[in-house]
């Protein structure tokens, strides 16, 4: 079982000093990865399904991970997730390749299609065709990362006669992890991902998710394994973590408490003792 820490760019960890301390503590304690979240903007006033109040601080994932790359040595650095249809994939491919180079090959590229329409409206991105643009953006980024002469022609994006260097350190490219619990997200993971990520999924929901993933893999004719990462509800104990492992979960990305720096650092030490060192 691998263990990650979620929220390395948000809440108290939007402070660079706190983020660096937490990342270094997690690395020393045996955590495998640190994960960012993303919302470029948040609705004001907050209304469902918005996950946070409008003044909740959240650093840009690529910027935060580049900062942490210089302050850690082994910790994998994951976007969990980037809302891909809101981004220019050509620009994003450059940003993420840069993070992989600066971290010497530690990037995990987590992405999702998004669900907050006000956020799409604010950045000028279409909400209705976000699924298609998400799929095409993945393919375009992979082309830019792997093709000798990158080109792509889709419904929403096309390019040719260009190149972008440096390429990522990881070959053929950094792991692509697809987030989301819809049938479309499962299909996207099965067809285009190296892994799948579910956020705040209890054991029953995870079991259902894994069934959906299995069906999507079968429909896609996929035989290659798909790494499964889950953020469980808070206050997970050893028995609960073992049950996730028994279901087939490969990584638990634990939600760090968001009170203050001292509380998060205590939680890192306590969690390392109660879970990480016992299950890794």
Q: What is the pLDDT of residues 211-270, one digit of tens each?
A: 999 999 999 999 999 999 999 999 899 999 999 999 999 999 999 887 899 999 999 999
User: Where are the domains positioned within the chain?
Assistant: 2-279
- Cβ contacts of 196 within 8 Å, gap of 6 or more: 177, 178, 179, 185, 186, 189, 209, 213, 226, 227, 228, 229
C-alpha to C-alpha distance for 155 and 140, rounded to whole angstroms: 12
C-alpha to C-alpha distance for 211 and 216, rounded to whole angstroms: 9
To the question of domain 2-279 being in CATH 3.40.50.1100, the answer is no
Beta bridge partners, 34, equal 5, 77
Q: Tokens 């939007």 correspond to what residue?
A: 14
Nearest to 73 by CA among 17, 31, 27, 107: 27
Nearest to 183 by CA among 109, 252, 131: 131
**Could you read off the pLDDT of 84-100 as tens digits, one per residue?**
999 999 999 999 999 99
Nearest to 215 by CA among 240, 235, 190: 190
pLDDT in tens, the chain (280 residues): 999 999 999 999 999 999 999 999 999 999 999 999 999 999 999 999 999 999 999 999 999 999 999 999 999 999 999 999 999 999 999 999 999 999 999 999 999 999 999 999 999 999 999 999 999 999 999 999 999 999 999 999 999 999 999 999 999 999 999 999 999 999 999 999 999 999 999 999 999 999 999 999 999 999 999 999 999 999 899 999 999 999 999 999 999 887 899 999 999 999 999 999 999 9
When the pLDDT of each residue in the chain is averaged and rounded to a whole number, the result is 97
Specify the pLDDT at position 257.
85
pTM to 2 decimal places: 0.97
């Amino acid at each position: 079982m691998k263990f990650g820490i979620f929220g390395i760019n948000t809440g108290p960890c939007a402070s660079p000093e706190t983020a660096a301390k937490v990342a270094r503590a997690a690395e020393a304690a045996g955590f495998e990865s640190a994960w960012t979240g993303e919302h470029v903007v948040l609705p004001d006033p907050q209304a469902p399904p918005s996950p946070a109040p409008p003044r909740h601080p959240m650093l840009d994932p690529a910027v935060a991970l580049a900062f942490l790359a210089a302050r850690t040595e082994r910790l994998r650095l994951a976007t969990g997730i980037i809302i891909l249809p809101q981004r220019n994939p050509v620009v994003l491919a450059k940003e993420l390749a840069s993070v992989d180079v600066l971290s010497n090959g530690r990037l995990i590229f987590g992405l999702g299609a998004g669900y907050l329409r006000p956020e799409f409206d604010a950045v000028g991105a279409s909400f209705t065709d976000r699924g298609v643009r998400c799929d095409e953006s993945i393919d375009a980024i992979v082309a830019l990362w792997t093709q000798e002469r990158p080109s792509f022609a889709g419904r929403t994006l096309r390019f040719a006669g260009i190149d972008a260097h440096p390429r990522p350190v990881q070959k053929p490219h950094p792991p692509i992890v697809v987030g989301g619990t819809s049938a479309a997200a499962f299909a996207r993971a099965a067809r285009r991902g190296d892994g799948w990520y579910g956020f705040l999924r209890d054991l029953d929901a995870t079991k259902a998710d894994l069934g959906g993933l299995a069906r999507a893999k079968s429909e896609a004719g996929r035989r290659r394994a798909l790494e499964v990462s889950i953020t469980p509800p808070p206050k997970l104990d050893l028995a609960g973590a073992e049950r996730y492992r028994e279901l087939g979960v490969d990584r638990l990305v634990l939600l760090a408490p968001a009170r203050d720096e001292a509380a998060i650092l205590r939680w890192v030490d306590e969690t390392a003792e109660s879970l990480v060192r016992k299950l890794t």
